[in-house]
Amino acid sequence: MVNDLGPYLQASQVSRLRDWLNAASYTPLPDDWAVFVADVEQSTPAISAGRYKEVNALGVACIVAVCNACGEDRIPYSFGGDGAAFVVPPSLQAVVGSALLGLSVRSAPALSLHLRVGCVPVRTLRALGSDLRVARRRLSAGFDMALFSGGGLSLADALVKAEPQRYAVSQTPRQAPSIQGLECRWNDVPSRRGRILTLLVRVRHNDLSPLQGLIQQIEALIPQANPVRRDNLPLSWPPRHLGTELRLKHPQSWLRALSHAGLWALTGLFSRVLRRQAADDATAAGRYVAGLLDSTDHLKLDDVFRAVLDVTEQEARALEASLQALQAAGHLDYGLHASDHALMTCLVRSMTQHVHFVDGGDGGYALAARQLKARQVAAS
DSSP 267-300: HHHHHHHHHHHTT-TTSHHHHHHHHHHTSB-SEE
Enumerate the domain spans of the chain.
Answer: 3-230+291-379
Chain centre to alpha carbon of residue 297: 7
Question: Are 339 and 198 in contact, with CB atoms under 8 Å apart?
Answer: yes
DSSP 169-214: --SPPPSS---TTEE--SPPEE-SSSEEEEEEEEEGGG--GGGHHH
Q: Per-residue confidence of the chain (380 residues) as pLDDT tens digits?
A: 566 999 999 999 998 999 999 999 999 999 999 999 999 998 889 999 999 999 999 999 999 999 999 999 999 999 999 999 999 999 999 999 999 999 999 999 999 999 999 999 999 999 999 999 999 998 876 789 999 999 999 999 999 999 999 999 988 888 889 999 999 999 999 999 999 999 999 999 889 999 999 999 999 999 999 999 999 999 988 999 999 999 999 888 778 888 888 898 889 999 999 999 989 999 999 999 999 999 999 999 999 999 999 999 999 999 999 999 999 999 999 999 999 999 999 999 999 999 999 999 999 999 999 999 999 998 88
Closest C-alpha among 261, 11, 289 to residue 135: 11
Name residue 152's amino acid.
G
pLDDT of residue 298: 97
pLDDT of residue 259: 87
Report the C-alpha gap between 14 and 3 in whole angstroms.
Answer: 22
Report the C-alpha gap between 77 and 88 in whole angstroms.
Answer: 9
